[in-house]
């Protein structure tokens, strides 16, 4: 395939800004604060103006902070500040010192303490601080303090999953997803502050999860564990299409872990980081790519047999980001970079607005949209376009196979 437009900074910047423009200004809630993140992915209308989900709030802050860092529209800074004020007040529970999971406008609906949500609060604080916006460092420090005090298990080197609102009860479930996104946030915190403690914790999590635990599953990454971090291979086996915690292996998460290991390798010299990143990305493509219809399956057996054969937008953006970073080490990854963009441009990107669809059928058709409160307001495509733009900033020929 000839060099495509997404190998250029201009093409990536266009895709990056399309997603920002899809959400702004409709996402700003000027009445109660925060964001209205629940926009219909096809037509762009608001389908829920009241729900304020912690992850959606934090992800939107991340997006507008990256817009500021990338010299995007001038309104990005204001939009990031707007979200940070809401995160630090409405989502924060000063009595129990934790972030509330779901609000109805400003009233708590679900106060469960999720590590996953606190990780995104840390990411939001880190990105705001990195963008030079006041208040970001304070939020970064607060979120990290809760993660370390309430979720980190020193004897395991990993993070627990969730707790009751008063922190009295810790769930026995342990999971990959919370640790993966905490690792992401730790990397962002280290890059924003230059402090080694964040990278030290990040490599501890990365090594424990992607090397030690993975030896029990032939190098693949299982998602679900018991309280003692034993593989729970039967978890949700009776719910193969569970939206957030399905059984099986997730190719998209293998690509996402690969991306994070490559980012960590920029700050650590351990050779295993790049080697393991390549292994994980290669496994994601080998097991997850649909040779008949294109695109990555959502979940698969260890053999590559699909369990849920739908194609999720986030998985493709994460693989795009990973392949862009890996191409700096081996230009053959550009083949996957091009193939992923080709599939995404044809099937996953809304031709009307430029936002990304949440999911497709195996054949690439759009199912009925999920109009729930737990949305991802463009966080995956924005973050990975930004990473790919950064690759080109470091080396303008990095995405050129002949460069």
Structural domains of the chain, with CATH:
5-394 (1.50.10.10)
pTM of the model: 0.97
- Catalytic, out of 118, 253, 254, 347: 253
The reply to whether 380 belongs to the active site is yes
DSSP annotation string for 232-288 = -TTTTTT-TT-SSS-SSB-HHHHHHHHHHHHHHHTT---THHHHHHHHHHHHHHHHH
Q: How confident is the model at residue 401 (pLDDT cuts 50, 70, 90)?
A: low
pLDDT tens per residue, range 180-201 = 999 999 999 999 999 999 999 9
The tens digit of pLDDT for each residue in 82-92 reads: 999 999 999 99
Catalytic pick among 53, 316, 347, 380: 380
Judge whether 253 counts as a catalytic residue. Answer: yes
Q: What's 389's DSSP letter?
A: H
- The span from the CA of 336 to the CA of 320, in Å, is 8
Pair of tokens at residue 231: 């593989």
Q: What pairing do the DSSP bridges indicate for beta strands 158-159 and 113-114? A: unpaired
Residue 48 has what pLDDT? 96
Residue 148: how many CA atoms within 13 Å on its side-chain side? 13
3 state SS of 193: helix
Percent of the chain scoring above 90 in pLDDT: 94
Q: What is the mean pLDDT of residues 316-335?
A: 97
pLDDT given at position 403: 44
Does residue 157 surpass a pLDDT of 50? yes
Q: Are 185 and 122 in contact (CB under 8 A)?
A: yes
State both tokens at 369: 């949209």
């Amino acid at each position: 395939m000839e060099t495509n437009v997404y190998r250029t900074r201009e093409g990536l910047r266009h895709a990056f800004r399309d997603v920002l423009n899809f959400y702004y200004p409709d996402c700003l809630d000027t009445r109660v604060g925060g964001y209205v993140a629940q926009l219909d992915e096809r037509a762009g209308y608001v389908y829920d103006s009241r729900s304020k989900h912690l992850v959606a709030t934090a992800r939107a802050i991340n997006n507008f902070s990256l817009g500021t860092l990338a010299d995007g529209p001038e309104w990005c800074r204001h939009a990031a500040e707007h979200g940070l004020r809401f995160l630090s007040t409405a989502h924060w529970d000063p009595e129990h010192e934790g972030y509330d999971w779901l609000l109805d406008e400003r009233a708590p609906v679900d106060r469960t303490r999720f590590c996953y949500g606190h990780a995104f609060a840390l990411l939001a604080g880190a990105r705001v601080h990195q963008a030079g916006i006041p208040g970001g460092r304070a939020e970064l420090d607060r979120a990290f303090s809760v993660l370390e005090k309430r979720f980190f298990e020193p004897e395991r080197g990993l993070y627990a999953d969730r707790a009751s609102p008063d922190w009295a009860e810790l769930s026995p479930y342990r999971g990959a997803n919370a640790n993966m996104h905490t690792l992401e946030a730790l990397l962002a915190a280290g890059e924003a502050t230059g402090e080694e403690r964040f990278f030290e914790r990040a490599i501890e999590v990365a090594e424990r999860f992607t090397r030690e635990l993975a030896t029990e599953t032939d190098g693949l990454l299982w998602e679900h564990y018991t309280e003692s971090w034993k593989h729970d291979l039967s978890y949700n086996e009776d719910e193969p299409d569970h939206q957030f915690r399905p059984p099986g292996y997730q190719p998209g998460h293998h690509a996402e872990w690969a991306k994070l290991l490559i980012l960590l390798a920029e700050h650590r010299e351990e050779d295993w980081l790049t080697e393991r990143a390549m292994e994980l990305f290669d496994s994601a493509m080998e097991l997850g790519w649909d040779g008949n219809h294109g695109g990555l399956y959502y979940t698969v057996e260890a053999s590559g047999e699909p369990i849920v054969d739908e194609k999720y937008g986030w998985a493709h953006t994460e693989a795009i980001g990973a392949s862009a970073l890996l191409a700096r080490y081996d230009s053959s990854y550009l083949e996957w970079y091009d193939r992923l963009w080709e599939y995404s441009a044809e099937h996953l990107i809304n031709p009307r607005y430029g936002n990304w669809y949440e999911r497709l059928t195996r054949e690439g058709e759009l199912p009925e949209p999920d109009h729930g409160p737990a949305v991802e307001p463009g966080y995956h495509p924005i973050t990975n376009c930004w990473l790919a733009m950064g690759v080109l900033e470091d080396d303008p020929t990095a995405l050129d196979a002949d460069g």
